[in-house]
Structure 1
Amino acid sequence: MEDFLKEYLSILRFEKNLSENTVKSYETDLRSFFDFIKNNGINDINEIKSATISDFFERQRKIGKDSSTSARYMSSIKSFFGYLEDNSYIEKNPTEKLASVKKSRKLPSVLSFIEIEQILNQPDTEDIIGLRDKAILELLYSSGLRVSELINLKINDLFFTDEVIRVLGKGSKERIVPIGSSASKWVQDYLFKTRPSLENKIRSQNFVFLNKRGKKLSRMWIWKIVELYSKAAGIEKEIHPHTFRHSFATHLLEGGADLRAVQEMLGHADISTTQIYTHIDREYVKQVHRDHHPRG
């Protein structure tokens, strides 16, 4: 089974051109499934039946996995068995008649504009690291970037005259995103005042945001930066870098932005992914009504 998995992951990487994070997600899901079937004495791919897969999902339910995780597992497993079937590695596809797991619709957590302002005001911009962090937070909110997109930005992806940046998104898809005057100002300040003192000619490789050793920042560091300044702002709810992306989209729609334009800025392949933010917008409208209408 290990050989099948390696071949499948290679196809995802080199033929389907999926991002490394997506491939790792598939691998993690499938290894969890393989661990389960091995523990149940199954070592041959053709011994896996529909009932085996159903038992796996029942196990996931019992250990408290939510519907979103189960839906992802189902997608990974179905895709893997589709590959086995297409290559005649199995006699019968055990996922053929399995229903997809219905994912409960969970609205993303968003910050109010006031909360965003409170966080953005926390970094000490007289300090070189504080100035870097200020630029990062401004850019996360101004452009709605994913963490992977932010840490992989390079100097030649920045076009300050046009106030846009070039982003390499999921599946290596390139898009152009507005940066906005405030973020543009802080990123330029960082580039001229801070980055030169952090840069290492060998390690930096033209990446925009660097750590103290001159290497590009890791995903974990961005999480730590967001957590640090959110706590400093006195915001108690759980906040992560993607919260800035959710807030970016929600605030645009609240301000009357066109859904298709927001889809383009976020880099969503399917507009239905963007539409979840219209539900948040409706919740905001209902809250305004409750708070301000005499009979709300």
Structure 2
Amino acid sequence: MNIFLKEYLSVLKLEKNLSENTIQSYRNDITCFLNFLEEDNITDPDEIKQNNIVAFFKSLKDTGLTSRSASRYHSAIKGFFKYLFVSKYIKESPIEKVSPPKLSKNLPSVLSVNEIEMILSKPDVNDKLGLRDKATLELLYACGIRVSELINLKISSLFFSEEVIRVFGKGSKERIVPIGSSAVKWINEYLSKSRPLLEKKMKSENYLFLNTRGTKLSRMSIWKIVDKYVKEAGIKSDVHPHTFRHSFATHLLEGGADLRAVQEMLGHSDISTTQIYTHIDREYIKQMHKDFHPRG
């Protein structure tokens, strides 16, 4: 069945314009499902029944996979079956009556404003890489952009006179995001003092943030940068690049920002995704009441 998978992934890339990371995720999840079917000697899409799919998800649960990861598998496999059905490779989709795993409502971790300040104060701005890291962290928090958006950001997408940047999000959707004066200041410092020392004319293209080889930073580089300064700041909680995005949204809503405006800045297609941050805000308020009210 790998020929069907290959065909489906080509459609996702060429017609849906999905990123390489997303396509790789689909490939991994669906391949895992197909390998499971092969163990039962199922090699034809029309042979796949509802009970095979139920058995696959039971096997995932038995391995200790989280409900969120299982839900991702369900979404990937459902999309694959939809393609097979539309392409008339199968008469009906066997996954339609298989409910997706119920997600536990775990709220994303958020840094306090003070913790953000502690992290942002750690890079050595007198060092070329330290200055780059400072600008990177400032931008992560100022705009709440995803790591994939950050590493692909180009100088041509900076419009500092208007205090905005242009970001290409999931599915190459373009959006304009405001950027504060602090991030503008440090990015300008980086552009004038650090980036020229990192730039390699034939390699750097127009990417904003560069590594020592003169090419754009990788996703792993951003993880390492965040991890380094979180440890230096003495913060013990589990912090990753996406925590800056969670904190950006939560701090805006705590400050009274409109939910729709935050949705636009984050690039969420569905406002229900943004609403999770109102839950964080609510939990924070409840905790404050509990901690400080005489009868809390």
Question: CA shift at 1:22, angstroms?
Answer: 1.7
- Match of 2:132? 132
- Match of 2:55? 55
SS at match of 2:161: coil
Question: CA shift at 1:34, angstroms?
Answer: 1.0
Question: CA shift at 1:13, angstroms?
Answer: 1.1
- Match of 2:187? 187
Question: CA shift at 1:101, angstroms?
Answer: 2.0
SS at match of 2:275: helix
1:169-201 Cα distance to aligned partner (Å, 9 max, x none): 111001111110000000000000000010000
Q: TM-score, normalised by structure 1?
A: 0.98
- Match of 1:289? 289
- Match of 2:204? 204
- Match of 2:237? 237
**How many pairs were matched up?**
296
1:133-158 Cα distance to aligned partner (Å, 9 max, x none): 00000000000010010000111111
Q: How does 1:34-73 map to 2 (within 5 A)?
A: 34-73=34-73
SS at match of 1:126: coil
Extract unaligned runs of 5+ from structure 2: none
SS at match of 1:161: helix
- Match of 1:166? 166
Q: Percent identity among equivalent residues?
A: 65
Extract unaligned runs of 5+ from structure 1: none
Question: CA shift at 1:232, angstroms?
Answer: 0.5
- Match of 1:105? 105
SS at match of 2:118: helix
- Match of 1:270? 270
Deviating more after overlay: 51-60 vs 34-43: 34-43
1:95-114 Cα distance to aligned partner (Å, 9 max, x none): 12212222111111110001
Amino acid in structure 2 at the alignment position of 1:287: Q
1:251-289 Cα distance to aligned partner (Å, 9 max, x none): 000000000000000000110110000000001101111
Show structure 1 runs of 4+ deviating over 4 A: none
- Match of 1:214? 214
Alignment partner of 1:176 is 2:209: no
Question: CA shift at 1:92, angstroms?
Answer: 3.0
Deviating more after overlay: 66-75 vs 256-265: 66-75
Question: CA shift at 1:39, angstroms?
Answer: 2.0
Question: CA shift at 1:19, angstroms?
Answer: 2.2
Deviating more after overlay: 128-137 vs 284-293: 284-293
Distance 2:111 2:172 in 1: 29
SS at match of 1:177: strand
Distance 1:111 1:130 in 2: 22
1:62-115 Cα distance to aligned partner (Å, 9 max, x none): 000111111111111111111111111013321122122221111111100011
Distance 2:131 2:75 in 1: 42
Distance 1:101 1:212 in 2: 44
Amino acid in structure 2 at the alignment position of 1:29: D
SS at match of 1:176: strand
Question: CA shift at 1:25, angstroms?
Answer: 1.5
- Match of 1:84? 84
Distance 1:128 1:221 in 2: 15
SS at match of 1:216: coil
Amino acid in structure 2 at the alignment position of 1:256: G
